[in-house]
Amino acid sequence: MAQKSKTQNFYDKVADVHHIALRINGYRKSVSKYLKSIDLEIDSDSLVLDAGSGTGIVTSGFYSAGFHPRKTIAYDLSLNSLKVSGEQFIKDKKTDADNISAVQGNVLTLPFADETFDLILTCGVLEYVSLEDGLAEMARVLKKGSKLVLIPVRPSIIGSVLEMLYSFKTHPVENVRQISQQYFNIVGNYKFPFTEPMGWSKMIFLLEKK
């Protein structure tokens, strides 16, 4: 049996508590509100990837926004996080659990063919890896002209606290811009209102594959 990485082991241990914290902070509502405001061109034939899905908050927000793709892949390094998210999807009437598949793995080695997905969602994951390698791999599996909703940790006091708690490294915003433009056109840049707790630590880049 392969040895767990430090990151996988950490999230396997904290998955339940982490999920509760995100629910209390209203992350799902914030994500849903944003996704409702943009045209993602998702229909019943679309394939969606939540890369680094964690306990499923972003996927749940996506479905709460009213999207109904053919299938969504919840992809994460932590098996326990995938277990928690699966349980939540089944309980949630707004989430189409039958059409969500859990896949365990590393975001730097996505087990999917080139240009598979019509949309990729990713939140707070690329802070654990090389930003260029992570974006290149996501660009590989995304169809040309399709969108990546990138939700990075933004540099801030809260971001610095999260760095210590979760052992990751926040990427400077300018680095995110420059590296993203190697593979994508930046078609949107969103800052959550400060009244929403998600805005204390996260921002959004809406990217379109070149």
d(CA 151, CA 149): 6
> Burial of 196 by CB count in 10 Å (0-12 exposed, 13-18 middle, 19+ buried)?
middle
pLDDT of residue 96: 93
Q: Does residue 74 sit in the same domain as residue 144? A: no
Say yes or no to pLDDT of 15 above 70.
no
Residue 162's nearest CA partner among 127, 122, 134 is 127
Q: Is residue 172 part of a domain?
A: yes
Mean pLDDT of 81-110: 94
Residue 152's nearest CA partner among 163, 143, 142 is 163
Is 209 within 8 Å of 148 (Cβ atoms)?
yes
Mean pLDDT of 118-133: 96
Residue 1 pLDDT grade (very low, low, confident, very high; cuts 50, 70, 90): very low
d(CA 185, CA 78): 31
CATH of the domain at 82: 3.40.50.150
CB-CB neighbours of 210 under 10 Å? 11
Q: Name the percent of the chain lying above pLDDT 70.
A: 90
Is 83 within 8 Å of 56 (Cβ atoms)?
no
Q: Is residue 26 part of a domain?
A: no
Mean pLDDT of 49-63: 95
Give tens-digit pLDDT for 137-188. Answer: 999 999 999 999 999 999 999 889 888 888 899 999 999 999 999 999 999 9
Residue 3 pLDDT grade (very low, low, confident, very high; cuts 50, 70, 90): very low
- Paired with 72 in beta bridges are 48, 100
Residue range of the domain that includes 63: 1-21+46-105
Q: Residue 169 belongs to what H/E stretch? A: none
d(CA 183, CA 80): 32
Q: Is residue 28 part of a domain?
A: no
Q: Does residue 135 sit in the same domain as residue 203? A: yes
Say yes or no to pLDDT of 20 above 80.
no
Say yes or no to pLDDT of 110 above 50.
yes
d(CA 8, CA 76): 9
Q: Does residue 141 sit in the same domain as residue 90? A: no
Q: Does residue 53 sit in the same domain as residue 68? A: yes
Q: Is residue 134 part of a domain?
A: yes
Mean pLDDT of 22-40: 87
Q: Is residue 147 part of a domain?
A: yes
pLDDT of residue 174: 96
Structural domains counted in the chain: 2
Q: Does residue 128 sit in the same domain as residue 152? A: yes
For 130, the token pair is 């090389």
pLDDT of residue 108: 97
pLDDT of residue 7: 78
Query: What pTM did the predictor assign?
Result: 0.91
Mean pLDDT of the chain: 91
